[in-house]
Structure 1
């Protein structure tokens, strides 16, 4: 094999390795028209996005051009279960998104199925003013926590660690803080569980999204190394003790 053939072979292998670790996402836009609680809201799609998403929308969603979005990778006090703090969590999300045009990114699997349930899309959302995802910002505010079952990894876990250390939001309550801190130490401590880290889309837009002019697109990206880094809670404790996942308690 001559030099040029070797170079081509290496490039093909590198491309194949990248494709094996690549994830597909849909990126589109819409305006937040109603916030339900700290992680769920209704979006009126731009016309371009409505047409782009037609294969993934139910007939009523397509006709109305309206979908429900849930912030992926986080857990908030639920309005439907009347959890304490749901109103404060909802108010925080409203500060980030209410009546604003948003960039919305949803994962598509190998079978071209979008990450959604019968009633909502699970997405990473940005408000065009900040490249940091609203999902992560909610955790940093202290009014949401990293959902270890669907975690986006290191930046999200560390955002929660800082919010807890500064006693922001929910974590100002001592009972909430201690229950969650113990759980996280067991989860990420030595000998503990190693949760699966889910792929997080990078910020990609085309067009002027601030005025609803973003061009929807499908893109593929390799999983970012910063998100696949395994988090470690800084106050680690040994052991593999199983404890119940703490729920939001009444203050």
Structure 2
């Protein structure tokens, strides 16, 4: 299923980042290339793939560092549908313990990913302005801030493209990651907010929110943004949440 950890392969790229194991599945590169196939040239395509790699890695690093704050070790997997931070254990003092996180801690971990991306975008904007460049922002659907143009004083088009893509991925993708659809970060946040208000039925209510929001954003993607991919993705996630509702028992 979507967003699940893929089986390791001998073609995986493995390394450590801030002491956190990272595994990159080969399909990650394939999907990144497909998304950037309309970039207009090999240099632009490579720039796009680097931006996607760095952005998703920083996003997942945010989750991993937030987990570390609460004594949880984790590993990061970049795969065909993005990234995943997998908790390994929870450490308290010198031993191991199976102590559940509070809803507020779960919310913090969920928000740490997209807000790490927003922070990266903020640094990119500040860096551009400091060196004498400019960043032009616009809006999508009248409310969503999106980067329109970046001009650096060095006269190198690929650098302008790199920063523009970096801003686009971390701002636009970050915002949509906060949509209350499970298993996106916004879906996790909604789940734990509702669990705080209603411990018995909070998860079930969050799944209904996920179904409704998923269908809504599928329609927005198809009719307002002209994105078939976005429509299919959110429709699929809404269907997954509906299946979870159908198989739920009792308070779940």
- TM-score, length-scaled by structure 1: 0.26
TM-score (norm 2): 0.26
Which structure's residues are more often helix, by fraction?
Answer: 2
Q: Using CA pairs below 8 Å that are at least 6 residues apart, which structure has the higher relative contact order?
A: 1
